[in-house]
Amino acid sequence: MPAGMPDANALGRACAHLAGTASLELLPGATDQIPELARLLPAGTRIFVPHLPGRPLGNGVPTLAALRAAGFEPVAHVAARRIASRSEFGSFMEAASTAGVREILALGGDLDPPAGPFKEAADLLAADMILGTGIGAVHFGAYPDAHPRITVAALAASMQRKFDLAARLGIAAGIVTQFSFEPENVAALARRMPAGSQVRLGIAGPCAVTTLMRYARLCGVGDSLRAAANLGTGALQLAGNADPTASLEALVAALGTSVASADGHGLHVYTFGGARRAAAWLSAMSRPRAAP
């Protein structure tokens, strides 16, 4: 067993716990995949529906409604900078509520300048337009590695403001971390969160190496990738990710098995290689394997 890895049985149990409580992503319009996801994943699994660049915010509502009808917990991405107006946001929240959405992932978005009045995720909560919609929880994006444009201090201040606003609205708050090639960075971020916070630990699901590299650049984790390359063959195998099991085991080792198994922690799988492929991997990983 590699140095620093926990006992194999404890490792298997912690990996199974994270896999069994994982969330993942499904693209808007991919409703044909929902029956297969329902076969592979537990009822109530959180499935996040992205707010894609260049598409109206309401584009994902039919998929969110279909997920709720299939017994999942649909989570709507809301990218602040891509929203053209307060009325667009208000109309979406009304439609999402009707579709059974009870949780959102509030993001800043990467549009510069913003398309409308919202410049960051906190503005969505400050507008008080979530009240009365049935939203009971909000997730915020978090960055284990340095953000390419925002300082660490600014990120920390922004996160505190978002948690304070959520508390004022009386809704639960947590984070979904970006994926990283440096598990220690993800673990360190999880440890910094307030006690009792819901922490969803981002990991790239099964996909081709070329696909993973492309998304690493798009998601701003290039520095993490370069650092992994400098660590040699073992780290590069984590980056290969045709099977992300080694990445999950490294994340559990960085967290510690007791922390990884805690109720406040779950996994969030970025489905770069497709939702069905990610769901099949999670289904297999959620069954603990006995050590030889």
Higher pLDDT: 194 or 227? It is 194
On whether residue 11 sits in a domain, the answer given is: no
How far is the C-alpha of 268 from the C-alpha of 120, rounded, in Å? 22
Tell me the mean pLDDT in the region 45-74.
95
Listed residue (31, 69, 71) closest to 49, CA to CA: 31
Reduced to 3 states (helix: H, G, I; strand: E, B; else coil), residue 181 is coil
Evaluate whether residue 14 is within a structural domain.
Answer: no
Helices and strands in the chain: count of H runs, count of E runs: 13, 8
For the chain, what is the domain count?
Answer: 1
Confidence (pLDDT) at 215: 62
- 29: which residues sit within 8 A by CB, 6+ positions away? 59, 62, 63
| CATH number reported for the structural domain that contains residue 60 in this entry | 3.20.20.220
pLDDT surpasses 80 at 254: yes
Q: Which two tokens stand for residue 279?
A: 């769901």
Domain presence at residue 198: yes
Domain assignment of residue 278, yes or no? yes
- What number of other Cβ atoms are within 10 A of residue 156's Cβ? 11
Instruction: Supply 63's token pair.
Output: 């998929």
Per the structure, the complete domain to which residue 109 belongs is given by: 21-244+267-284
pLDDT tens-digit series, residues 18-34: 999 999 999 999 999 99
pLDDT at 290 over 60: no
Tell me the pairing of strands 46-49 and 172-177.
unpaired
Question: Bridge partners of 265?
Answer: 199
Region 153-179: mean pLDDT is 92
The pLDDT assigned to 219 comes to: 60
Q: Is residue 253 part of a domain?
A: no
For the segment 183-222, what is each residue's pLDDT rounded down to a tens digit?
A: 899 998 888 887 778 899 999 999 877 767 776 666 655 4
The strand pairing partners of 75, in sequence order, are 48, 103
Residue at 172 is within a domain: yes
